[in-house]
């Protein structure tokens, strides 16, 4: 999809940063240390569809264009979260695990924030930078490996998931594996966009609604649906986590915010959505629906045009945006039951905070 001039400058800047990251990286001892299913980058099969590069079992690309989009999204998340990298009440953490680390910005920032913590970022593609703080380590790992995770049990202060919608076929199993790896008293944190609300802003445009429904169906057929069921607190409770808290923030999209920083965020987020439509659709439409790549590109351009038109209309775009939800759960410690029942898990410990900060402690 060609970038329009008014959206291109910011995205190009982020893409240039991404292009400086070497995709194929030297093999090292750390590539296999304590790994769930460590593989060298040369062992991973990559697919090319219409000049976009993908891993076999994930619908989003991992090429330079996508890396730039992820870097921009990282900055947007930081902005709407008031600069906070994590909403978990961490106190001098020693070990942190970032699942689906992508380009590694979050893991690197956490390593800088907690210089005495060992931070590990894992992904199915080796697209992270090589020049990183000495306390951060990147590994190629598959969090859905059939044999389960091989990380030492009860070892991590925090296991973190961000922007992982559509990544797993079985979130419940992933949460169970995370529970095993987290130390008693440690935390799980899951952060994702509520993408299902996007069609709500286009009640008079059936094309956008049809596109979104077709997209969700294609991801369902692929076995990794782009839905937010994993953001249900009950999903964490079922894995054994307690003191589950939810924070919801709204990311503006477009020109409508009055405050200058929010307006910049809105335009950046428009770029993220605009460039992400084809990225999200191309592989699943081609593989699951048997569309021709040119058909997918044509539809995505039309959808992107409709979204851009709304976002750049000062009057019509009022309130246009997308919620991002953060779940934080705690693994019980001491004499607490490892897997409490639903009542004791959710009960009064469930606190929903909208557009506010998570209280200290849990």
* Best CA proximity match to 135, nearest among 189, 90, 101, 96: 96
pTM: 0.84
pLDDT of residue 56: 79
Contact between residue 328 and residue 87 where contact means Cβ atoms under 8 Å apart: yes
β-pairing, 156-162 vs 95-99, is parallel
284 alpha-carbon distance from chain centroid: 18
Domains of the chain, CATH where assigned: 5-354 (3.40.50.150)
Instruction: Count CB atoms within 10 A of the CB of residue 246.
Output: 21
Q: Provide the residue-wise pLDDT of the chain in tens; the chain has 362 residues.
A: 444 555 555 555 554 454 443 333 332 333 333 333 344 555 567 889 888 899 878 899 999 999 999 999 999 999 999 999 999 999 999 999 999 999 999 999 999 999 999 999 999 988 898 889 999 999 999 999 888 898 999 999 999 999 999 999 999 999 999 999 999 999 999 999 999 999 999 999 999 999 999 999 999 999 999 999 999 999 999 999 999 999 999 999 999 999 999 999 999 999 999 999 999 999 999 999 999 999 999 999 999 999 999 999 999 999 999 999 999 999 998 655 444 334 333 333 344 444 444 444 43
pLDDT of residue 55: 87
* Best CA proximity match to 128, nearest among 143, 138, 115: 138
pLDDT of residue 10: 57
The helix (run of H) or strand (run of E) holding residue 210 is helix 206-221
How distant, in Å, are the alpha carbons of 129, 336, 360 from that of 242?
35, 10, 16
Tokens matching residue 37: 């299913």
pLDDT of residue 146: 84
């Amino acid at each position: 999809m060609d970038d329009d001039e008014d959206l291109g400058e910011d995205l190009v800047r982020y893409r240039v940063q991404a292009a400086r990251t070497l995709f194929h990286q030297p093999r090292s001892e750390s590539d296999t240390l304590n790994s769930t299913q460590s593989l060298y980058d040369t062992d991973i099969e990559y697919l090319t569809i219409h000049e976009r590069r993908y891993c076999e079992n994930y619908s989003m690309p991992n090429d330079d264009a996508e890396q730039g989009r992820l870097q921009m999204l990282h900055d947007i998340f930081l902005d709407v979260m008031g600069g906070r990298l994590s909403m978990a009440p961490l106190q001098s953490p020693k070990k942190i695990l970032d699942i689906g680390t992508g380009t590694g910005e979050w893991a690197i920032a956490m390593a800088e924030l907690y210089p005495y913590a060992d931070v590990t970022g894992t992904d199915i593609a080796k697209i992270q930078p090589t020049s990183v703080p000495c306390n951060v380590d990147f590994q190629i790992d598959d969090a859905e490996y059939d044999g389960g995770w091989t990380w030492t049990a009860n070892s991590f202060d925090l296991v973190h998931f961000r922007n992982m919608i559509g990544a797993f076929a079985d979130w419940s199993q992933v949460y169970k594996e995370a529970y095993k790896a987290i130390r008693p008293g440690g935390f799980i944190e899951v952060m994702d966009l509520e993408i299902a609300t996007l069609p709500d802003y286009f009640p008079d445009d059936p094309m956008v609604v049809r596109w979104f429904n077709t997209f969700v169906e294609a991801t369902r057929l692929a076995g990794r649906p782009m839905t937010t069921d994993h953001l249900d607190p009950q999903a964490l409770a079922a894995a054994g986590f307690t003191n589950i808290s939810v924070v919801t923030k709204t990311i503006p999209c477009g020109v409508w915010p009055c405050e200058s920083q929010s307006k910049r965020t809105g335009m950046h987020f428009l770029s993220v959505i605009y460039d992400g439509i084809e990225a999200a659709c191309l592989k699943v439409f081609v593989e699951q629906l048997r569309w021709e790549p040119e058909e997918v590109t044509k539809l995505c351009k039309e959808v992107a045009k409709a979204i851009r038109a709304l976002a750049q209309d000062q009057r019509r775009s009022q309130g246009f945006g997308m919620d991002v939800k953060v779940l934080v759960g705690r693994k019980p410690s001491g004499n607490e039951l490892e897997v409490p029942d639903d009542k004791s898990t959710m009960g009064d410990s469930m606190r929903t905070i909208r557009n506010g900060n998570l209280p200290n402690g849990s």
